[in-house]
Structure 1
Amino acid sequence: MTVFTAKARKLVDILAVPVWRGALRRQGVAAGVEHAGVLRNMGSVRTVVDIGANRGQFALVARHCFADARIVSFEPLSGPAARWRAVFASDVSATLVEAALGPQAGEAQVHVSGRDDSSSLLPIGVRQSVLFPGTEEVGIATVRVLRLADALQTVDIIAPALLKLDVQGFELQALAGCEEMLDHFDWVYAECSFQELYTGQSLADEVIAWLRERGLRLVGVYHMTYDARGQAVQADLLFGR
């Protein structure tokens, strides 16, 4: 499937769902329709914690698949956070926390990408810019960092629960910020890299090992991308208990 064909197919899928169509038309937010099949196969999910929410692309699909779930999204950058709030203004079961997740509460600097969904608390590497043109650093922003327990209590996480991460190389640090509450999640769905795209990032095998030690095994690999040499670059990994 060519890039053009994939984009056309995604647009068709978005236009088929009124809420997604409205988010695209009014706020310019394209639902992450590629995740819908993965989420539907989970069955019932009552709590979604969405770390690295950006404008709400994933949360839109989560709401479509889990109509009655509580969604708690985390997004540290003010611009995407404002767009998320506009998209979910009428959804009383969706909440945004304007912060990143990390091992310690405080403040940190985000390396802002030319495409803000590629921004990271880690420096943007040369490999990222080569493979994904337009994602070079364009600025620095100071953001709030929390641990998950600073924002939620265990009683807020009603099972079955899904923890999603899209944090551009910061996966292990974000997971460390969730560790004391990790036992309350049935699923973890995380974008992970097989090559270093962000300076000092942990790669997929390290994330897999870390979660396996905590009772979550790899059960699915989706949306794999490859470089020109045919080597794996990144994928969405699903972990379950």
Structure 2
Amino acid sequence: MMTPQERRRVLLQDIDIVIDGGANSGQYAKWIRECGFHGTIISFEPASETFALLSDVARRDDDWHCRQEALGPEDGYVALNLTRTSLGSSVFRRTSLHFHMWPDDVNAGTEQVFARSLRSLWEELGCEGSRVFLKLDVEGAELSVLKGAGPVLDRIALLELELPLVAIHHEAPTLTEMLNFLTERGFSPVALEQNHSGDETTGQMLLVDGIFRSSTSDGVTQST
């Protein structure tokens, strides 16, 4: 059986740039380096304290660049609901299930953060002529980021998204909404991987990481 590490090693071998949305303190970026990715990583983390941790980790890697911004549907300031561990920080309010499953991740106030759309960032990030892998772990805001990408979404070779099987954020899109959007935009599933132990009292799986491949583009971005 192929492990997540082995799968990333295969999928990332032809990728030039990984856009790491919702980087937290750099866990995913460090992991794909361990999986053998040697290309450019661009990490986005809007929360001030968490960004300081991320920057400290990334400074030893010349091809890992960090931006203190959120990815969103458009450019502008948004209120980020912070949690103590920062892993649950989100623009959405958490449901009672989230509080039940992560009782130690208590609310820690809000922070006004600047968000950018991928549409407005694309040329700035230097993605033209490159194969791009977009990873999003943005606590319920994945679909809004994808919609905000507009036409540049068609230039992304691979997507990795955190997908909810149940509601853990108020007003966040459902799994069905996200899958329908991805299908409409020409992305087909590569793999679904469980990323949390789930609710052991009910057997309910909460979240999966979904990997999707563009079926409408060769994934090499060109300037317009």
Same fold (TM over 0.5): yes
Tell me, yes or no, if structure 1 residue 167 matches structure 2 residue 138. yes
Partner of 2:97: 127
Alignment of 1:44-63 (within 5 A): 44-63=14-33
Q: SS state of the match for residue 79, structure 2?
A: strand
CA distance in 1, matches of 2:74, 2:6: 34
Supply the distance in 1 between the matched residues of 2:24 and 2:67 (Cα, whole angstroms): 11
CA contact under 8 A between 1:159 and 1:185: conserved in structure 2? no
Deviation at 1:206, TM superposition (A): 1.4
d(CA) in 2 for partners of 1:181, 1:113: 32
The answer to whether 1:192 aligns with 2:169 is: no
State the 1:76 CA deviation. 0.5
8 Å CA contact 2:39–2:63 kept in 1: the answer is: yes
Partner of 2:149 in structure 1?
A: 178
Structure 1, unaligned runs of 5 or more: 1-33
For the residue of structure 1 that corresponds to 2:62, the secondary structure is coil
The residue number in structure 2 matching 1:235 is 208
Q: Is the 8 A contact 1:45 1:66 kept in 2?
A: no
Q: Give unpaired runs (5+ residues) of structure 2.
A: 215-224
- What value does the CA root-mean-square deviation take over the aligned residues? 1.8
Aligned residue pairs, count:
208
Residues 65 and 178 (structure 1), Cα distance of their counterparts in 2 relative to 1, 3 Å cut? farther
Matched, 1:87 2:57: yes
Q: TM-score, normalised to structure 1's length?
A: 0.80
Check the 8 A contact 2:9/2:37 in 1, yes or no: no
Quote the Cα distance in structure 2 between the aligned partners of 1:223 and 1:77: 26
In the TM superposition, what whole-angstrom CA distance separates every residue of 1:153-206 from its partner, at most 9, and x where no partner exists? Answer: 175255432100001111111112223311121110011111111110112221
Q: Which is helix-richer, 1 or 2?
A: 1
**Conservation of the 8 A alpha-carbon contact between 2:15 and 2:133:** yes
Task: Classify the secondary structure of the residue corresponding to 1:240.
Answer: strand
Q: Out of 92, 106, 114, which is 1:144 matched to?
A: 114
Structure 1 residues 38 and 179 mapped into 2: Cα distance closer, same or farther (>3 Å)?
farther
Distance apart, 1:224 and its partner CA: 4.9
The SS at the match of 1:121 is: coil
Task: Return the match for 2:177 from 206, 210, 213.
Answer: 206
2:85 is equivalent to residue 115 of structure 1: yes
What are the Cα deviations for residues 23-76 of structure 1, in whole angstroms up to 9, with x where unaligned? xxxxxxxxxxx8533311313221100000011100112233354311111111
TM-score (normalised: structure 2): 0.86
Deviation per residue, 1:116-144 (Å, 9 max, x gap): 01100111221101012212322111100
The percentage of aligned residue pairs carrying the same residue is: 26
Contact 2:159/2:211 (<8 A) preserved: yes
Q: Secondary structure at the match of 1:206?
A: helix
